[in-house]
Chains A and B, each alone.
Chain A
Amino acid sequence: MLEEVEAQVVVIGSGPSGAVVSHTLATSGIDVLCLEQGDWVSPSDYPANHRMWELVARSHWATQPKARQNLADYPLGDEFADLSPSMYSAVGGSSVHYGALWPRMTESDFRVRSQDGVASDWPISYDDLVPCYAEVDAFIGVSGLDGDPAYPLGLAYPQPPQALGKTGLSAARACNDLGWHWWPGTHAIPTHPHGDLAGCQRWGTCVQGCPEGSKASFDIAYWPAAIRAGARLSTGARVERIETSDDDRVSAVSYIDTDGVQHRVITNQVVVCGNGIGTPRLLLLSATSRHPDGLANSSGMLGRNLMMHPCSCVFGYYDEDLETWRGPLGAVVASMEFYDTRPEYDFVRGFKMHASTVPGLIMAGVDPHRSLPFDELWGARFHDVVRKAASTVLWSAQVDDLPDPENRVVLSRSLVDSSGLPGAEVHYQYSENTQKLRHHAVRRMTEAHEAAGAKQTLAHLEMPGEPGHLLGTARMGDDPKTSVVDSFGRAHDVDGLRIADGSVFVTGGAVNPTSTITALALRVARQLVADLRASELSAT
């Protein structure tokens, strides 16, 4: 039996962007209902609570849904993709298993066309986002060091940076010797208690969930405050379609609960926050006779231009005990030395690289060596491998993979989720520019290890388990012929439909995107509040 309720605004997806939108609307007195297909994760479930925590991290907590197969996960066809995407379906979304690296995009990321003659410029600038970046940073208690010269003057953080430790000092000195930029890493991990978050105690298991409650996964960083402000959150609610009227206005959202019961929420305002794969999937599922190619897809850009930040890494093994079991796992130091286009190279744009500790001997030693011939790891060599892994530094780099319309998300014709809805199929191939960037990044990271005195390095052109950065599949722009939404996330084609996740990125930059995703989400939500207020005034 179909059950119906009403909501002033429905938010679809409770990850970072959905949490920020819901919180912003609720604190503005707006009735908001968020629908989430997963459920809550308890800190007691985190792998760090188990002795063999690295085994847990590689099975039920695997980063890729195909390996994990939780009930909330929908299937991803990746046979046509050079990369298999990572994501997490739960309250807090993929922030449940992100590293909480929190760099902002740079000024140049917003004007790639003007600067480098490729891709497109964003319809907004870095300066447009600064107030939103700062507001989210202040809410979370982001830790970092003020004054990074890779950014305009004035960039400051509410909490002091994490300690560099022996690993950070070693990597920093190597960068100094090479004449490279570096800066202490910025994290959505407060160094001291802040709001609903604890201060970091350096467990090192950040990606698999912080048992201290310090990492700003959005289930603990934003949702408690959003609920206190009055936001409603329904878990186990898998949205099957967004309904529209004949005059192209949002009219309702229908979803299926875990018992297979269909529900309908009557609303004329929807904000989609399903990530760069889930969002186009839902809008494609919402096709109608008036929108036969998917909702808000008159441009044909829906699902296209998928960017995923290919990630390469180089493990370095050191004689000196660098205490690399300490957390947080992320960027002890980050270097933007090769971030922008340089005339001497035959590629455009660049990469951010960061040095990290590597807690866990399977992550530091066993897994990296699986790429080598069998007897380089197994047999008597195993003892040497795991002992040298006790002091391992990881340099990793994510590259700016420029938008390509052929890299896209479509509905799967063969896979369905546990509710019977078609899964997503990902088509993604590295461009020549991306390949050159990856190889260059590996050479530079190897150089950094050598400058730091590593006794051995082990390069991986493709870092296992990465990436979870899903961007660009509903790009923003001023022209409805070439974009899906405007700069405030408002769909060009459908009144009352907004998108507030990484789908709206025009280009991807090469920094971890969650700070920019949440800043954009805050900007979208603020404008929605203003639009609703204006609508109320015009009605009276």
Chain B
Amino acid sequence: MTGTTPHPAVTRLSVPTVRHKPLRDVTERELTYIRRAAQVLVPRTDQHQGAADVAEFRALVNEAVAIVDWEVQTVARLSEAQGELDGERLLAALETMSLIDADAFYRLSLIVAGVYLYADETLEAIGYPLPHRNAPPEDQVVDELMSGVLEPVLRRSGRRSPLD
């Protein structure tokens, strides 16, 4: 029989501690590899900066790796195998990897997507907020329901409005 192998980040029964730093810092070679992957997966265009261009790239990569690949095993393996590739050759290799080594590609692409999407300048450019308190005005739901939007449902059912 084989036992489960707990994720290396697991130190508690039900909730692993979420790491803010990976087990070790990402090396320069690994960082270069991730930067090249970022350049082709989320490239710079005429209108938008690319994932490799974000100001806090190094810090965000380390933060993302800490969450997704805490032991840096996947990143280390990929940078070893694909570290000499860039541009179109790397993009083609990543496309192949998405089919035959889907878990590794998922981790790498999640790191790249996270670095890009959670960079301050991207959040500002897209105008998309991080989770935060935004309770509705007290009477919003009453106003919505009093707008008549429920009438067709009530008419078909023969029921009276619960707001009457």
Residues of A within 8 A of B (CB): 37-42, 45, 47-48, 50-56, 58-60, 68-75, 88-91, 96, 145-147, 149, 153, 160-165, 168-169, 172-173, 175-176, 179, 181-184, 191, 199-205, 211-212, 235-236, 258, 325-327, 359, 361-362, 366, 370, 374-375, 378-380, 382-383, 386-387, 390, 413-418, 420, 422-423
Contacts and interface: CB of A to CB of B under 8 A. Distances in A.
A41 B141 contact: no
B18 interface: yes
A223 B12 CA distance: 20
Nearest to B113: A366
B67 A374 contact: no
Given A145-B145, A380-B43, A390-B128, A70 B6 contact: yes
Interface string B23-64: 000000000000000001111010110000000000010011
Contacts of A327: 131
7 contacts: A89-B14, A149-B157, A163-B140, A165-B140, A378-B40, A378-B95, A416-B2
Contact of B132 (A59, A203, A375): A203
A47 B18 CA distance: 8
B67 A172 contact: no
B9 A359 contact: no
Contacts of B13: 37-39, 70-72, 89-90, 235-236, 258
A161 B143 CA distance: 12
B136 A90 contact: no
Contacts of A153: 159
Nearest to B135: A201
A79 to B, nearest CB: 14
Nearest to A54: B114
B4 A418 contact: yes
Interface string B106-150: 100111011011100000001111111111100011101101011
Contact of B117 (A73, A75, A88, A386): A386
A55 B159 CA distance: 46
Contacts of A38: 13-14
A386 B113 CA distance: 10
B100 interface: no
B153 A149 contact: yes
B49 to A, nearest CB: 9
Contacts, number: 218
Given A41-B15, A72-B14, A147-B159, A359 B131 contact: yes
Interface of B: 1-7, 9-10, 12-18, 40-43, 45, 47-48, 60, 63-64, 67-68, 91, 94-95, 98, 106, 109-111, 113-114, 116-118, 126-136, 140-142, 144-145, 147, 149-150, 152-154, 156-162
Contact of B9 (A60, A370, A380): A60
Contact of A169 (B63, B110, B144): B144
Contact of B144 (A55, A60, A90, A164): A164
A52 B67 contact: yes
A39 B47 CA distance: 49
Contacts of B153: 149, 175-176, 181-183
A366 B12 CA distance: 30
A58 B113 CA distance: 13
B39 to A, nearest CB: 11
Nearest to A160: B141
A179 B156 contact: yes
Q: Across chains A and B, which 8 residue pairs bring their CB atoms closest together, nearest first?
A: A149-B157, A90-B14, A38-B14, A147-B162, A163-B136, A72-B13, A201-B133, A146-B162
Contact of A417 (B4, B48, B116, B133): B4
A325 B157 CA distance: 33
